[in-house]
A = this chain, B = another copy of it.
Amino acid sequence: MTHKLAFIGFGTVGQGLAEILRDKGDTLRNGLGFEVQVVAVSDLMKGAVYHPDGLDVARLLEVVQSTGRLDDYPDTPGLERGWDSLKTICDSNANTIVEVSFTNIDTGQPAIDHCRAAFGCGKNVVMSNKGPVALAYTELSALARQNNVRWCFEGTVMSGTPALRMPLTALTGNEITEIRGIFNGTTNYILTQMEDEMEYEDALKEAQKLGYAEANPAADVEGQDTLGKVVILANVIMNVPLRKEEVSCQGVSHLTVRDVIEAKAEGKRWKLIGRVKKEGDRIIARVGPEKVRWSDPLAGVMGAMNAVTYVCDLAGPVTLVGAGAGRVETGYSLLIDLINIERGAL
């Protein structure tokens, strides 16, 4: 059966997935029997189109990338225009909503409402938006379960690197007593540059120039981005209802080149580490810079790369290293969610 998708939002991540579907659609169909169709796109700024028999993905991308307006998508019999996000979620014939509207890490909106609406209408949701998972995991995962639909969000932690699916599928049966990692590429890039004696401010400017850091980099360098990921890992992987407020958080902006060089002389590296640990019945979660020994796999993670270590009672420590952001990588995170929904697998 063809898997029908409605995109809510059509920015970088949504277009990233659409490009993959355009470029690799035949390979996915022939290789995996994975047949998808985009039936709707609804974007607050760019407009909306819906056709129950499917839209032409190449044309959607062409139109949006040349004029920025879905109004320029050509008319065909049966095409509907102007549906807002909630109407698209509920009234389209999509099986799965690709929720790629904007991220608000403080409120999780409008994505939380989009999830509620989708689950209520019996539709799956895939997303890479941290907000709803970090803020409303308990509510939304229960709602999805009650409505017998899937909610997948691999891309919320380390984009297309399977920081969530890997432990769920391949480390089950272990007690995972601790998760620690490098979850923010901007700060890791800055710390890597500082090792070559570049001052913090200059390294930050370079990260911004390379597109790693936002114009307002506070969420990166003050640790809030990492904190959101720690909350997600605690909830999803450790099954602990940890809330944002329970995580102590410090950023890296106070570190100097001297600190970085001194650590190097001790055989260590400063890294911005997010960690959550079970100690008896207590859960200890924090974000902050730590001096990591070179013998730790996290110490070798350089530049904008991310990494996570799961400390397992049976398998030992297992570390995953990979991209933590990127248009194609995050687009892929949505694809792997869709493939596993189709497979009926985690």
Q: Which residue numbers of A lie inside 8 Å of B, CB to CB?
A: 20, 24, 27-28, 32, 34, 154, 159-162, 165-166, 169-175, 294-295, 297, 299-303, 305, 307, 312, 314-323, 326, 328-329, 331-332, 335-336, 339-340, 345-346
CA distance A329 to B318 in the complex (A): 11
**Once the chains are docked, how many angstroms separate the CA of A166 from the CA of B346?**
12
Residues of B within 8 A of A323 (CB): 315-318
CB distance from A105 to the nearest CB of B (A): 24
A318-B320, A320-B321 given; name 6 further pairs at CB < 8 Å.
A20-B314, A169-B340, A171-B336, A294-B300, A297-B321, A315-B323
Alpha-carbon distance between A320 and B315 when the two chains are bound, in angstroms: 13
Known contacts A169-B345, A172-B339; A317/B328 CB under 8 A: no
Whether the Cβ atoms of B318 and A161 lie closer than 8 Å is yes
Query: B316 contacts A319, CB within 8 Å?
Result: no
In the complex, residue of chain B having the shortest beta-carbon distance to the beta carbon of A326:
B316
CB <8 Å contact, A162 and B173: no
Name the 5 nearest CB pairs between A and B, nearest first.
Answer: A300-B300, A162-B170, A160-B315, A314-B332, A319-B321
Residues of B contacting A329 in the complex (Cβ-Cβ under 8 angstroms): 314-316
Q: Is the CB of A169 within 8 A of B172?
A: no
Min CB distance, A192 to chain B, in Å?
A: 9
Chain B residue, CB-CB nearest to A162: B170
User: A32 is contacted by which of B172, B307, B321 (Cβ under 8 Å)?
Assistant: B172
A171 to B336 alpha-carbon distance, docked (Å)? 7
Q: Which residues of B contact A314 (CB under 8 A)?
A: 20, 24, 160, 328-329, 331-332, 335
